[in-house]
Amino acid sequence: MVQYSGPVLDASFAALSDATRRGVLEQLGRADASITDLAEKFHMTLTGMKKHVGVLEQAGLVMTEKVGRVRTCKLGLRALEQEAAWIERYRQLWAARFEELDKLVYELKQKEKVYGRKKQ
């Protein structure tokens, strides 16, 4: 079994659980932006956006740099490889379960064709 660092996954999934923060990541994937620009784009106060960016920064998903009075945000250096691996493990588990269910349904349909449907 693959071991995952709990705090890293917890921070990432907590950061990604909010639609605004996911939107910020999408926006920063297109271009770096100041906190002011992000706040305007998402119709938020500067304080609210600073909090969102702070959560993303703690998770390593965003980096900020202050030049003068402007704090510029860009995507962090950390990729979501651990998170993707964790999700993939459960995707495979569910895929295997659904595959077994499909086999069972197929077998029941074959039996129904051979023996006919029983009256209740």
Q: Which domain holds residue 100?
A: 79-115
Distance CA 38, CA 80 (A): 22
At 44, the amino acid letter reads M
Q: Does residue 120 sit within a domain?
A: no
Tell me if 110 is assigned to some domain: yes
Say if CB 60 and CB 77 are below 8 A apart. Answer: yes
Q: What is the pLDDT along the chain (120 residues), one digit of tens a residue?
A: 455 568 888 999 999 999 999 999 999 999 999 999 999 999 999 999 999 999 999 999 999 999 999 999 999 988 888 889 989 999 999 999 999 999 999 999 988 888 876 555
Same domain, 107 and 60: no
* 90 and 71 within one domain: no
The model carries a pTM of 0.74
Contact status, residue 53 vs residue 73, Cβ threshold 8 Å: yes
